Amino acid sequence: MPDTCTSIINLSYPDGSAGSSSKPERFDKVQDYNELKKYYVRNRMLFTDRTFPPDNVSLGDVDGLSPSQEAQVRWCRPKEIMEILNIKGDPVFRSCCESRFDFGQGFIGNCWFLAAISSLTLNKRLTMQVVPEQSFDDYAGIFHFRFWRFGKWVDVVIDDYLPIFRNDFLSVNAKKTNEFWVPLMEKAYAKVCGSYADMNAGYTSESCKDMSGGLSLNFPLQQVHDDDHDAELWSSLSYGSRCRSLMCCGTPSADGGRVVNSQKNDGLINAHAYSVTKVSEVYHRGSKVKLVRVLNPWGRQEWNGNWSDNSPLWNEVSSKDRLKCEKDENGEFWMELEDFCHNFNCLTICCENPNFMDGDLGCQWQVMIHEGNWSSAGGSLSDYSFHTNPQFRAMIDIRNEEEDVDMNCFVSLMQKPSERNRKKARYFPIGIYVFKV
């Protein structure tokens, strides 16, 4: 079954232990969601988060906003926001179930985060882990979300004050205008990052890992295509889709990195993150064509080349295949694998275990996590002090001698910043060398 992959990360935190998916640690040690919710409901009060208050400190210095514009930002609760937007009725957390079409990107440059949310909604079990069941019943102005941070799941508590600019959402906007799960989730992740401004620019591998606790593999698409590895790439995409992996991609910047988020003639956006929502094959003139479905987190603005919504190529396939093309201006579109590799420079596949590499969904994995630090490093392989780097040994057994390639070892390295604010964090060059002993 597609959703039966075993999370190897959580094997190191048995169910019920602190940091496991069923018992996440508190992100702020003094904030217990259940206790706070009961207290504020009982006393008929609305919660205000003093650790991430509704002010300019939590907003941060947002790129593109002048100081005078920042002063115009208001913080409002959902009911007041609906009144500002002239929306009737009551706010809801989610109207039905989470969908990748629920939202569109706002003023904050966090497409790398929103693309991961789009992918997350395709894995319902994992979505329920990150977005716990909540509602505006017994309303107390308090909500919570869960993210995986450096080996452990953490529970992030927030109030529901959201930034409003010129009578509209400053950041992510809900297309179902009375639904608030995405703007609230964005606020929770802004708290994790340090501020809304600290979410500006990033890698989808980072946000995908924080939403899954999984293992990421990055593909340099142009190099993969140039090396004639399209078949291996297609297998990884297909396996990733079957495993309900979080899959995202990104376009390169234009003009040597100086032009960001400008629109190209083909409809794609430079230096922008997208999510991969499906792969499929269609028969066209007697041949199989490999197609990748991609979603722009803006919720609009699509590719206009071959196999796009209005491409005449869809008129040359069977009526069954033609149903795959939904001609909606929702930011989602199809493109051929070769065009995908030419126009996107990177692909990230992140899954709770590495089964997406070979499609063996029944394979059971074990995990070893080593945590530590060092005051000085031995440098790269060419340095005389290389041997002083931290070293670990692992015994790799051949599990199935009938397999030509037994891909049974996956190594991942993370660096934990000392600074909470994401933009202020200092990172050092790190890497892994693997030797056969």
Q: For residues 316 and 326, give the distance between their C-alpha atoms in angstroms, rounded to a whole number.
A: 16
192: left (phi over 0), alpha (psi -120 to 50) or beta: alpha
Q: For residues 385 and 383, give the distance between their C-alpha atoms in angstroms, rounded to a whole number.
A: 5
Pick the closest to residue 6 from 245, 363, 359, 356 (CA basis). Answer: 363
Query: Which of the residues 200, 243, 272, 341 is marked catalytic?
Result: 272
Q: For residues 296 and 341, give the distance between their C-alpha atoms in angstroms, rounded to a whole number.
A: 16
Q: For residues 259 and 261, give the distance between their C-alpha atoms in angstroms, rounded to a whole number.
A: 7
Q: For residues 161 and 167, give the distance between their C-alpha atoms in angstroms, rounded to a whole number.
A: 14
Give the E-state strand segments of 285-391 in sequence order: 287-295, 332-336, 346-351
Query: Which of the residues 123, 200, 296, 330 is marked catalytic?
Result: 296
Instruction: Look up residue 328 and give its two tokens.
Output: 């909606």
Active-site residue, 229 included: no
| Whole-number CA gyration radius for the chain | 23
Contact 28, 157 (CB under 8 A): yes
Q: For residues 106 and 169, give the distance between their C-alpha atoms in angstroms, rounded to a whole number.
A: 7
Contact 126, 33 (CB under 8 A): no
Cα–Cα distance list, 209 to 11, 18, 213, 234, 246 (Å):
16, 19, 5, 22, 9
Contact 208, 116 (CB under 8 A): yes
Active-site residue, 111 included: yes
Active-site residue, 272 included: yes
Query: Which of the residues 5, 111, 243, 346 is marked catalytic?
Result: 111
Cα–Cα distance list, 140 to 29, 76, 77, 157, 184 (Å):
20, 14, 11, 12, 14
Cα–Cα distance list, 280 to 52, 121, 239, 334, 369 (Å):
43, 19, 12, 9, 36
Q: For residues 110 and 115, give the distance between their C-alpha atoms in angstroms, rounded to a whole number.
A: 9
Contact 160, 40 (CB under 8 A): no
Give the E-state strand segments of 127-205 in sequence order: 142-149, 152-159, 162-164, 173-174
Catalytically active residues are 111, 272, 296
